[in-house]
A and B are shown apart, each in its own frame.
Chain A
Amino acid sequence: MTQYLYEEECDELPAFSVEGLPSVPRLSHLEMLEAESIHILREAAASFAAPVMLYSIGKDSSVLLRLAQKAFYPGKIPFPLLHVDTGYKFPEMIEFRDRYVKEVGAELIVHKNQQALDEGATPFALGTQKCCGLLKTRSLLDALAEGGFDAAFGGARRDEEKSRAKERIYSFRDAAGQWDPRNQRPELWNYYNGKLDKGEHIRIFPLSNWTELDVWLYIYKENIPIVPLYFAKEREVVVRGGSVLLTQGPIPLLPGEKTERRTVRMRSLGCVPCTGAIASTADTLPKIIEEMFGFHRSERENRAIDHDQEGSMEMKKREGYF
Chain B
Amino acid sequence: MHPHANSANADHTFEQFLSQHLERDLLRFTTAGSVDDGKSTLIGRLLYDSKAIYEDQLQSIQQSKLNRSTGPMDFSLLTDGLRAEREQGITIDVAYRYFTTSRRKFIIADTPGHEQYTRNMATGASTADAAVVLVDARKGVLPQSRRHATIAALLGIPHIIAAVNKMDLVDYSEEVFRRVEADLQELALQISPSGAQTIHCIPISALEGENVVTRSAKIPWYTGPSLLEYLEEIPIADSNSPEAFRFPVQYVIRPDDSFRGFAGQIIAGSVRPGDRVVALPSKQKTRVRSIVTFDGALPEAGTGSSVTLQLENELDLSRGDLLVSEEGLPNIARKFAANVVWLHATPLDLHKRWIMRQVTDEVRVQATKVRSRIDVNTMESSLASQLGLNDIGIVEFEATRNLSFDLYSQNRNSGSFILIDPLTNATVGAGMITENLEKATRRSDPKLADVGSQGEKPAEPLQTAAVAISERVHRSGHHPGAVWLGAGSSLAAPLERALFEKGFHVVIIDDSQHPGEWSEGLVRGFYSAGMIVLYSSHQALEQKKHLLTSTIQPDRILHVDALSRDADDASLLQQIVAWVEGLRIARPEEGR
Contacts and interface: CB of A to CB of B under 8 A. Distances in A.
Do these two chains really belong together in a complex?
yes
Interface of A: 1-10, 12-13, 15-18, 21-36, 38-39, 42-43, 45-46, 69-76, 158-159, 161-166, 168, 181-182, 184-191, 193, 195-197, 208-209, 211, 213-214, 217, 220-221, 286, 289-290, 293, 295-298, 301, 310-311, 314-315
B98 A209 contact: yes
A162 B306 contact: no
B327 A15 contact: yes
A39 B293 contact: no
A32 B54 CA distance: 26
26 contacts: A1-B286, A1-B550, A2-B551, A3-B449, A5-B553, A18-B243, A26-B240, A27-B304, A38-B265, A43-B360, A46-B319, A46-B360, A72-B253, A73-B308, A162-B81, A182-B92, A186-B123, A188-B122, A188-B427, A191-B418, A193-B357, A286-B18, A297-B54, A298-B54, A310-B64, A311-B86
Contacts of B24: 28-29
Contacts of B474: 10
Nearest to B27: A29
Given A165-B81, A189-B412, A213-B100, A13 B470 contact: yes
B285 A3 contact: yes
Contact of B105 (A29, A75, A220): A29
B453 A3 contact: yes
Contacts of A31: 304-305
A4 B551 CA distance: 5
A33 B265 CA distance: 12
A159 to B, nearest CB: 5
Contact of B446 (A9, A74, A209): A9
Given A166-B95, A295-B54, A297-B56, 16 more contacts: A5-B447, A8-B470, A24-B303, A35-B305, A45-B251, A73-B308, A74-B292, A158-B98, A162-B79, A188-B430, A190-B413, A220-B18, A297-B54, A301-B56, A310-B64, A315-B83
Interface stretch (B6-14, B505-513, B559-567): B6-14
B244 A4 contact: no
B391 to A, nearest CB: 14
Interface in B70-126: 78-84, 86, 92-98, 100, 104-105, 107, 119-120, 122-123, 126
Interface of B: 6-8, 14-15, 18, 21-26, 54-57, 60, 64, 78-84, 86, 92-98, 100, 104-105, 107, 119-120, 122-123, 126-127, 236, 238-244, 250-251, 253-255, 259, 261, 263-265, 270, 276, 284-286, 292-295, 300-306, 308, 319, 325-329, 343, 355, 357, 360, 412-413, 416-418, 420, 425-427, 430, 443-449, 453, 456, 459, 462, 468-470, 473-474, 479, 524, 527-528, 549-553, 585-586
Given A71-B306, A293-B6, A293-B7, A196 B425 contact: yes
B425 A197 contact: yes
Contact of B23 (A18, A28, A162): A28
B528 A5 contact: yes
A70 B551 CA distance: 39
A7 B357 contact: no
Contact of B329 (A7, A74, A193): A7
Nearest to B269: A16
B434 to A, nearest CB: 16
A163 B77 CA distance: 11
Contacts of A32: 26, 304
A46 B94 CA distance: 27
A73 B292 contact: yes
A290 B14 contact: yes
Contact of A25 (B81, B122, B240, B413): B240
A190 B127 contact: yes
Given A23-B240, A163-B81, A217 B22 contact: yes
Contact of A30 (B22, B304, B325, B469): B22
Contacts of B8: 290, 293
Nearest to B319: A46
A121 to B, nearest CB: 27
Given A182-B84, A193-B427, A6 B586 contact: no
A74 B255 contact: yes
7 closest Cβ pairs, A-B complex:
A24-B302, A162-B81, A195-B425, A18-B242, A16-B328, A29-B26, A38-B306
Contacts of B263: 42, 71-72
Contact of B14 (A25, A164, A182, A286): A286
A283 B451 CA distance: 70
Nearest to A162: B81
A3 B551 contact: yes
A27 B305 contact: yes
A315 B82 CA distance: 10
A316 B67 CA distance: 25
Contact of A42 (B251, B301, B448): B251
Contacts of A295: 54
Contacts of A186: 119-120, 122-123, 343, 418, 427, 430
Contacts of B294: 69-70, 73
Contacts of A73: 253, 292-294, 308
A31 B293 CA distance: 13
Contacts of A38: 265, 306
A75 B425 contact: no
Contacts of A21: 242, 270
A233 to B, nearest CB: 21
Contacts of B55: 296-297
Contact of B300 (A24, A189, A190, A214): A24
Contacts of A2: 276, 285, 326, 549-551
Q: Which of A34, A159, A187, A220 has the most chain B CB within a 10 Å cutoff?
A: A187
